[in-house]
Amino acid sequence: MTEHEHFEPVIIGFTCNWCSYRAADLAGTARMKYPPNIRLIRLMCSGRLDPTFVLKALSAGADGVMITGCHPGECHYIEQNYKAMRRYQLLKRTLTQMGIEPQRVKLVWASAAEGARLTEEITKLVEEVRALGPLQWPTSLNGHGARPAVETTGAVVSAKEVAA
Amino acid sequence: MTSPANLPEERIGVYVCHCGSNIAGTVDVEDVAQWAAGRLKHRGVVIARDYKFMCSSLGQEMIEKDIKELGLTRVVVAACSPHLHENTFRTACKRAGLNPYLCELVSIREQVSWVHTDKVAATEKSKAVVSGGVERVLWHEPLEPLRVPIHPATLIVGGGIAGIQAALEIADGGSPVYIVEREPSIGGHMAQFDKTFPTLDCAACILTPRMVSVGTHPNITMLTWSEVTKVDGYVGNFTVTVCKKARYVNTDLCNGCAVCQDKCPKKIVDEVFEAGLGYRKAIYTPFAQAVPKFPVIDRENCTYFQKGTCRACEKFCPTGAIDFNQQDETITLQVGNIILATGYDLFDPRRIPHYGYGRLANVFTSLEFERLSNAAGPTNGKIVLRDGVTEPKSVGIIHCVGSRDRNYNNYCSVICCMQGLKFAHLVKERTGATVFNFYIDMRTAAKAYDEFYQRVLEEGTLFIRGRVAEVTDAARLHGEEGKLIIQVEDTLASKQRRIPVDMVILSAGLQPRRDAKAVAKLFGISCSADGWYIEKHPKLDPVATMTEGIFIAGCVQGPKDIPSTVVQGAAAAARVLGRIQQKEIALEPVRASINQDRCSGCRICNNLCPYSAILFHEDRMVSEVNPALCQGCGTCVAACPAGAISGTGFSNEQILAQLEGLLMLNLDGDGRMPVKVREAVAI
Ligand SMILES: Cc1cc2nc3c(=O)[nH]c(=O)nc-3n(C[C@H](O)[C@H](O)[C@H](O)COP(=O)(O)OP(=O)(O)OC[C@H]3O[C@@H](n4cnc5c(N)ncnc54)[C@H](O)[C@@H]3O)c2cc1C
Ligand code: SF4
Ligand code: SF4
Ligand code: FES
């Protein structure tokens, strides 16, 4: 029995219109099952993912975030998912520096045919975040252990740094 | 919680669909609608309704009536995936005078009711999804679709029966077609066959007239011995680069007499057309009825190219058509639509070593048998063993080789049962041999197929139900010496059998082309896990892909017989012709634009754009997006440090508002998850 057995995490999933969103559709059509803890947002491409969206999600109540996109080399817009990959690496570093477990944010490649893979990854992430427990923003950030207010558009990580 | 300035004037309608029991079975839709009407009232929701089938005429009319009578300014529909019905509801809004882009469809079927089982949790998640949709729609802007002109020419890649059918339909419809084929001739696999099931039509007799029509059609340009190397641009206006390999034959002079093929001293095993059973020359056309009739010189095998002397073909060619100086050509084509019809490869039965192909001489593949039984094939249609003379007295035909087998391909290759029956008939007819067919299930589900099975049964072919364990030449029992022994569990008689035969034919399955993935990438479409190209909708849009302007037809989409292949070729052509006739296509206006007052001129976005759509004005030191090139991926929007770039349909505001809505921040003001949701999810 783990400490967080009754904790139901809330996960935000960013999906790409061309692959993972279709994978989610496929998972539905095939009646695959995954826990209801994830809520999806559709982007046109993983390249659209501004890392501040992730920070915003975490600061606004999500306990974890899943970023999904087409497999490397299969991006509908040629290679924007490589940019997502780089941003993800930097984002994880930033999270660590902020004292947040980087495992709360996960990058998953899922093609339009991979409903089963998406289902599996969602189920895994929900369990992993459940094991981590609710996201506690480090007290050092605001002194109260509560969530800081991240401005909607103000970048916490310099986008310039991440874009490069 | 951020709100748009116009929030007080907004009047939003929320429509929650039951989808029969598809959604209502797992989600308390009435509760979701009531909840939205109450808890999202302060976010502009003035009406929320649930309805059995929102996409029905009555459902749509209900929305239209509300728009008109209640003065709705925005609409949220909670139903199935936007990939299915976004257009339906947008069109309904448009009919009622509301800009269609002020409608948001959120999925509570594919993403909720179909993937979750707990009704309480599913209902709570649906509320969150609706709340996300309401917040997002508040930031939608009225947009106009982008109208893109359609170039009237079409590119067809692959000249098998699928590509041929599509080409003829479009060309007969009056529009220009380019057909790019990798081999020296069009025709594809069908050109290799002797007879076609179930009618036993002679394949060449029905195929060659079509090939000739393609070759002579004034609207068709054939590029054989060619491959597409690059694809730029988008629906309506693709720029395609084709590499046309040097034939070393001047097609203006060549009359197709084939003297060169007689005189060429270099014989090569023909692995492609003759499936390794016959020979061709270094200068060759794959078969006598090839279209075009012009031969090609295969450089790698030509004595002159390899050793510097020979030129026999040149010496004997009566028209002086041989041209050793020809170079590969790069051709650029301008087309509006593309149809991919690149077909399949045969499953390589060497991968199943216990069936002995490649090791035991008299084990044949299905394609080898097609050549063996073909009157124009290497044995002039005589069905003989590998020695070239002995007629088999007994033949075993093994179905499902490489198909319906989790070690190889899980799928059914569709044609192998019928093909096995066709072979049984041909062997019986030509040799009188005893024929055994080994099958797992007999699949003859199409017009006149089962009747063909009955006929083969009546002809005396013996059927044994069971997956063959092994084909071996190790004789154990009397009578097995010198034979191939088929070891099988006869699942109807529940016993093991060893059946000695002279010849084994493997009814091998169909597989995606070896280079299917690379070709898919070149054209920007996706493959299924098996490697077949994915259609836009498996039932309702089987020849379109997710990429506008790229269609698929024939076996590239999945294993199928010739009738279904032809149907798809014609269907893809109909889709393309419709587009050409409309002259333009309306596209999603998903594009980026740069606010020049906010742009700092840092140029970070310039190099990120995959389409070089962002140009930099040196004089004013600002960047600008060319909307004709931008495809709306949003990468630049995410990267701009000044927040100067916004994307229509995917602005920061829309995405973040949806996020806040999904987390229900719109319900209370303190920026924390409402406790209620947490409890509800925990049940
Ligand atoms: C042994 C056997 C027997 C069969 N018998 C029958 C039968 O009796 N009746 C029946 O209904 N069905 C039969 N079938 C099924 C039949 O072969 C297919 O339905 C049909 O040939 C599919 O046509 P297609 O045009 O989709 O593909 P293909 O015939 O494979 O044609 C594809 C074409 O595209 C070309 N190509 C591939 N890649 C590229 C590229 N990158 N660039 C340019 N060109 C390319 C190829 O060279 C080829 O010409 C049989 C199949 C097999 C294996
Ligand atoms: S030159 Fe090459 S192609 Fe021509 S006849 Fe000699 S071997 Fe054949
Ligand atoms: S949205 Fe994508 S395609 Fe459009 S300008 Fe920006 S980077 Fe280029
Ligand atoms: S389109 Fe899916 S990651 Fe780019």
CATH number at residue B77: 3.40.50.960
- Residue B513: which residues within 8 A CB-CB, separation 6 or more? B342, B343, B344, B345, B519, B556
Would the CB atoms of B633 and A76 count as touching at under 8 Å? yes
A154: nearest Cα among A53, A62, A83: A53
Same domain as B293, residue B198: yes
Identify the domain containing residue A72 by its residue range: 2-163
Find which of B633, B636, B665, B683 to mutate to test the A interface (most A CBs within 10 Å of its CB). B633
Residue B670 lies in a domain: no
Rounded to an integer, what is the distance from CA B488 to the centroid of its chain? 36
Same domain as B62, residue B204: no
Between A8, A39, A160, which is nearest B128 by CB? A39
Residue B663 lies in a domain: no
* ipTM confidence score: 0.88
Q: Which residue of B has its CA nearest to A134?
A: B678
Per DSSP bridges, beta strands B484-490 and B296-297 are unpaired
Same domain as B417, residue B536: no
Mean pLDDT over the full length of chain A = 85
B221: nearest Cα among B160, B171, B169, B152: B171
Q: Which residue of B has its CA nearest to A114?
A: B529
Distance A104 CA to ligand 3 centre (A): 29
Q: Which residue has the higher pLDDT, A142 or A3?
A: A3
- Of A21-30, A55-64, B387-396, B584-593, the poorest mean pLDDT is in B584-593
Which of B125, B145, B165 is the last residue before a domain boundary?
B145
- Quick check: bond before B198 cis, omega within 30? yes
**Which portions of chain B are predicted below pLDDT 70?**
668-683
Q: Whose CA is nearest to atom 34 of ligand 1?
A: B158
Q: How confident is the model at residue A77 (pLDDT cuts 50, 70, 90)?
A: confident
CB < 8 Å to A111, chain B: 526-527, 529
Q: How confident is the model at residue A156 (pLDDT cuts 50, 70, 90)?
A: very low
Same domain as B451, residue B332: no
Listing from the earlier edge strand, what are the strands of the sheet with B103-107?
B45-51, B12-17, B74-79, B103-107
**Is B301 buried (19+), middle (13-18) or exposed (0-12) by CB count in 10 A?**
middle
Same domain as B98, residue B59: yes
Residue B364's beta-bridge partner residues?
B505
Contact status of A34 with chain B (Cβ, < 8 Å): yes
Would the CB atoms of A76 and B637 count as touching at under 8 Å? no
What number of other Cβ atoms are within 10 A of residue B407's Cβ?
A: 8
Q: Residue-wise over B192-230: b if at least 16 C-beta within 10 A, else e?
A: bbbbbbbeeeebbeebbebbebbbebebbbbbbbbbbee
Residue B249's beta-bridge partner residues?
B322
Q: Decide if B106 contacts B85 (C-beta within 8 A).
A: no
B14: nearest Cα among B77, B95, B106: B77
* Rounded-to-integer distance, Cα B606 and Cα B638, Å: 13
Same domain as B223, residue B180: yes
* Rounded-to-integer distance, Cα A34 and Cα A127, Å: 11
Backbone φ, ψ for residue B396 (5° rounding) = -110, 130
Between A37, A40, A47, which is nearest B634 by CB? A47
Helix (H, G, I), strand (E, B) or coil at B601: coil
Q: Which residue of A has its CA nearest to B673?
A: A61
Residue A152 has pLDDT above 50, yes or no: no
- Residue B264: which residues within 8 A CB-CB, separation 6 or more? B281, B282, B283, B284, B312, B313
Q: Measured on CA atoms in the order B484, B487, B492, B494, is the torsion positive or negative?
A: positive
Q: Decide if B546 contacts B526 (C-beta within 8 A).
A: yes
Residue B492 lies in a domain: yes
To the nearest whole angstrom, how far is the Cα of B528 from the nearest Cα of chain A? 5
Would the CB atoms of B529 and A83 count as touching at under 8 Å? no
A52: nearest Cα among A161, A155, A149: A155
**Residue A138 pLDDT:** 67
**Residue B668 pLDDT:** 56
Same domain as B427, residue B382: yes
Distance B533 CA to ligand 1 centre (A): 15
Helix (H, G, I), strand (E, B) or coil at B358: coil
Eight-state DSSP code of residue B390 = P
When divided into structural domains, chain A yields a total of 1
DSSP secondary structure of B322-345: B-TT---EEEEEEESEEEE---EE
Q: What angle do CA B521, B526, B529 make, to 5 degrees?
A: 115
Chain A segment 107-146 residues within 8 A of B by beta carbon are 111-114, 119, 146
Q: Residue-wise over B475-503: b if at least 16 C-beta within 10 A, else e?
A: eeeeebeebbbbebeeeeeeeeebbbbbb
Which of B468, B483, B511 is the last residue before a domain boundary?
B511
To the nearest whole angstrom, how far is the Cα of B530 from the nearest Cα of chain A? 9
Q: Decide if B312 contacts B265 (C-beta within 8 A).
A: yes
Would the CB atoms of A114 and B529 count as touching at under 8 Å? yes
Q: Whose CA is nearest to atom 8 of ligand 2?
A: B264
Task: Say what the pTM is.
Answer: 0.85
Find which of A7, A20, A41, A88 to mutate to test the B interface (most B CBs within 10 Å of its CB). A41
How far CA A144 is from CA of A62, A148, B43, B393, B428, in Å, comes to 18, 9, 30, 89, 87
**Residue B682 pLDDT:** 33
Structure tokens at B364: 């044949």
Distance A44 CA to ligand 4 centre (A): 7
Between A53, A61, A164, which is nearest B665 by CB? A61
Which of B100, B115, B145 is the last residue before a domain boundary?
B145
- For residue A23 and ligand 4, the question of a CB distance below 6 A is answered with no
When divided into structural domains, chain B yields a total of 4
Would the CB atoms of A28 and B110 count as touching at under 8 Å? yes
- Domain containing residue B181: CATH number: 3.50.50.60
**Residue B491 pLDDT:** 96
Residue B674 lies in a domain: no
Structure tokens at B494: 């529940």
Q: Decide if B430 contacts B423 (C-beta within 8 A).
A: no
Atom of ligand 4 nearest to the CA of A81: 3
Residue A163 has pLDDT above 50, yes or no: no
Identify the domain containing residue B605 by its residue range: 592-647
- Domain containing residue A126: CATH number: 3.40.50
- Residue B636: which residues within 8 A CB-CB, separation 6 or more? B592, B605, B608, B609, B614, B625, B645
Residue B11 lies in a domain: yes
One-letter amino acid at B414 equals: V
